[in-house]
Structure 1
């Protein structure tokens, strides 16, 4: 059956499983009040006062109560979706919720009531201008938040903090575009536009503000996605001990026997609210053991996908002939921290050192003792530095990779515009075009300029009933 964004829809709005309360939500779409009133009578036996909680029975087709609970009616446009909405809040047993859901579908067949698709309620909130696209995505991010910091940042995005910054940038770009295009429309005006209108200064301030927004968005993306941190190195250098020290629990088996870890062990921890997906892997060495070979192949596969690689070495030996080929195989562009473990056996204190002989790469060496949990705080701080985390950044809002791509693209267009501004008046049309392209990228974040295909992808990842 062909579905549209104006169909009446219904879904269970609470998570699967048993709970004290369960919610069935109906949004009436194009059918509006004409469908809402008779359906309320069929489901509850009475008319409902707008925005008042009424304790009522939820009736089956024969007028018998399936359940009893609270019914709430929200006339348009004062509802989550901006449409007429009815919520039935009853007991949270899976069977009773399914019975109520099916009763709603049966009673609403005449008006075309159907099951909602994933994210369809929030999609309608976006289409009806109750939320912009960044706020709509924040709804899903708030539901999925795995840390307190992520939840708070998602809440700020839902309140519109991210959107307000984007709209402010767009307004500044539009103002500059108006000045540029007015000059293009009146070429007989013999004025030096770039000087008289301070176009370069305005553009410079826009670029500075965009850089600030991008920095906050990067931190927000870290809160949402976290970092994949892979522990790599030869056998028996203390990778499993380091995983246990970082996690604060005995997660991995630790023995003096080389090759104990045959497959990856993954644990998610938090540092300053950032999720770190720490992966302990099989030791890298030449072996004839078929099982160990599989584990080593999986180790390299994880390294290829890593955000950060911790290259563990024995502090007593440093870089050995076997470590050179391992370091040479690390993917270019992936940050690597050289971790000198077992400092408790050397008499040296834990420390962090910047290595100078790395061909310009920003490589740090951290000396610590995983067994004694000495120097672990130094490694945590180093991981935060690599992540670009700024302590005390209260204004962070949650962001997605889609947002970062759009912000970087806008940054590139503004950079190109600046180069045109430094040329001649003949480049003003190119200057104006780059400003237009930057504006389109920024508008795509909040949904003012977004393809239907992209909307379909975004909302399909929501849970059903939201």
Structure 2
């Protein structure tokens, strides 16, 4: 543990600006109970009963009251950080809070009290085993949640739903590692080990469980990050009109002139709590216009990064050779929805059905709005949303990366298990690497540099 992780710290724990209540929080680190008692006497003029709300004045250095409010003392280890913690809950005026904060720093000079860094209280909760790393990240996700679904999912992560899944996977991997490594000590048993211990079956079950956790994590990441939806197609097929229809506002310029949109126009909307980042792009065609050509290059860049591509076509013309050429360039593995727009002009009804290849097809009119709800439903299906169901937990990109790394190592372990000459030392090594990847999610195998990046993005005072 680094020395600065045991310094006594203090910060205003409530958001900047005026409010009904403001909180100043102190955590005493290595200074311990003696420092906590000094702070209580300096700021409140008395000792406080543990975990008992006391209505007291908050004094300045001259013994005059700065404010009156609730003071709380939480002895270690039964506190948020696991250290002795002291909180003053007064009126939420910024000047009053600054005065209380300065008094705390002045009174704590002799035991090294300093201002807390962003996320330092939660970092200490992690370092003192009050939270694992996934739960600590869920604290920030809960604060930043922009939808009810995201807030509920972050709450489940904070309660440990995601961590329990990871710990169960780690336990399964450890059990299999024990069998493998025990066999390494008895080389004469190696030939029969995979069959006798059902190692292949155990590994297959671990891989299946990991795939389920990864699928759930992807859905949790969608709630946090949203779905990137790119509108693509030839010029003048109604991409800008569709963006406006989905957003419910005139965001993009709509004209009958091909090539009106020359750079992307982006808007985030929410459908059933899922953030959808809709990106309108330049029409795809051969052009000599240098500005339009640059816009088309950027369009293909957005398509490469998309979670979903909406391929717009003119319902009056159907699928043209140009449309087929565009579809052929879409990246493999990215869901594509073919949108037959301008059904009002084609005299066709709104509908959703299976299209050519793997794509779904939606017939709609961006101009009249007929069929827009069908497109929203398709996007929700791609996001994995189900009516009445809630995501188990919120996940971050680093969690997905770690789960994918673990999956790759388990796949390599399975490959070694299938070899005629069973190489158990390589089998064991891939299991160890998979375990390390999983442990990185909860922080049991995490570098200090990664911790610094994660907690630096928290609020000050949290």
Distance 1:324 1:368 in 2: 20
SS of corresponding position for 1:4: helix
Deviations 1:86-130 (A, max 9, x none): 111111122222221122111111111111111111110000000
Distance 1:422 1:320 in 2: 48
2:395 is the alignment partner of 1:399? yes
User: CA 1:295 to 1:180, structure 2 compared with 1: closer, same or farther past 3 Å?
Assistant: closer
Distance 1:290 1:195 in 2: 65
Q: How far apart are residue 290 of structure 1 and its match?
A: 8.6
Counterparts in 2 of 1:129-208, with a 5 A limit?
Answer: 129-189=129-189, 192-208=192-208
Distance 1:173 1:293 in 2: 52
Aligned to 1:462: 458
- Which of 326, 341, 363 does residue 367 from structure 1 map onto? 363
Q: How far apart are residue 267 of structure 1 and its match?
A: 2.5
Distance 2:68 2:250 in 1: 48
Distance 1:431 1:300 in 2: 41
User: CA 1:326 to 1:421, structure 2 compared with 1: closer, same or farther past 3 Å?
Assistant: closer
Aligned to 1:72: 72
- Which of 441, 450, 454 does residue 445 from structure 1 map onto? 441
Deviations 1:376-413 (A, max 9, x none): 23222322343344555435211111111111111111
SS of corresponding position for 2:4: coil
Deviations 1:126-181 (A, max 9, x none): 00000001101111111111111111111111000111111111111111111111
2:405 is the alignment partner of 1:414? no
Distance 1:125 1:116 in 2: 14
SS of corresponding position for 2:26: strand
Distance 2:242 2:336 in 1: 16
Counterparts in 2 of 1:26-65, with a 5 A limit?
Answer: 26-65=26-65
Aligned to 1:8: 8
Conservation of the 8 A alpha-carbon contact between 2:416 and 2:422: no
Counterparts in 2 of 1:244-393, with a 5 A limit?
Answer: 244-256=244-256, 264-283=264-283, 299=299, 302-319=302-319, 334-356=334-356, 362-389=358-385, 392-393=388-389
Q: Please say which of residues 43-52 and 417-426 is displaced more in the overlay.
A: 417-426
TM, length-normalised to structure 1: 0.90
Q: How far apart are residue 260 of structure 1 and its match?
A: 5.5
Q: How far apart are residue 292 of structure 1 and its match?
A: 6.8
Q: How far apart are residue 314 of structure 1 and its match?
A: 2.1
User: CA 1:328 to 1:98, structure 2 compared with 1: closer, same or farther past 3 Å?
Assistant: farther
Q: How many residues in Structure 1 have an aligned counterpart in Structure 2?
A: 461
Aligned to 1:427: 423
Q: How far apart are residue 202 of structure 1 and its match?
A: 1.4
RMSD: 2.6
Deviations 1:233-258 (A, max 9, x none): 44443223322322334444545555
Distance 2:331 2:419 in 1: 40
User: CA 1:202 to 1:332, structure 2 compared with 1: closer, same or farther past 3 Å?
Assistant: closer
Distance 1:421 1:391 in 2: 42
Distance 2:423 2:77 in 1: 47
SS of corresponding position for 1:24: strand
Q: How far apart are residue 27 of structure 1 and its match?
A: 0.6
Conservation of the 8 A alpha-carbon contact between 2:69 and 2:88: yes
Distance 1:152 1:414 in 2: 32
Distance 1:408 1:203 in 2: 16
User: CA 1:318 to 1:130, structure 2 compared with 1: closer, same or farther past 3 Å?
Assistant: same
Q: How far apart are residue 273 of structure 1 and its match?
A: 2.1
User: CA 1:418 to 1:45, structure 2 compared with 1: closer, same or farther past 3 Å?
Assistant: same
Runs of 5+ unmatched residues, structure 2? none
Deviations 1:440-466 (A, max 9, x none): 111111111111111111111111111
Distance 2:263 2:220 in 1: 32
Aligned to 2:224: 224
Q: How far apart are residue 283 of structure 1 and its match?
A: 4.6
Aligned to 1:96: 96
Conservation of the 8 A alpha-carbon contact between 2:264 and 2:280: yes
Q: Please say which of residues 171-180 and 94-103 is displaced more in the overlay.
A: 94-103
Conservation of the 8 A alpha-carbon contact between 2:350 and 2:362: yes
User: CA 1:204 to 1:282, structure 2 compared with 1: closer, same or farther past 3 Å?
Assistant: closer
SS of corresponding position for 2:5: coil
Deviations 1:154-213 (A, max 9, x none): 111100011111111111111111111111112345872222222122111111111111
User: CA 1:464 to 1:343, structure 2 compared with 1: closer, same or farther past 3 Å?
Assistant: same
Runs of 5+ unmatched residues, structure 1? none
User: CA 1:293 to 1:96, structure 2 compared with 1: closer, same or farther past 3 Å?
Assistant: farther
TM, length-normalised to structure 2: 0.91
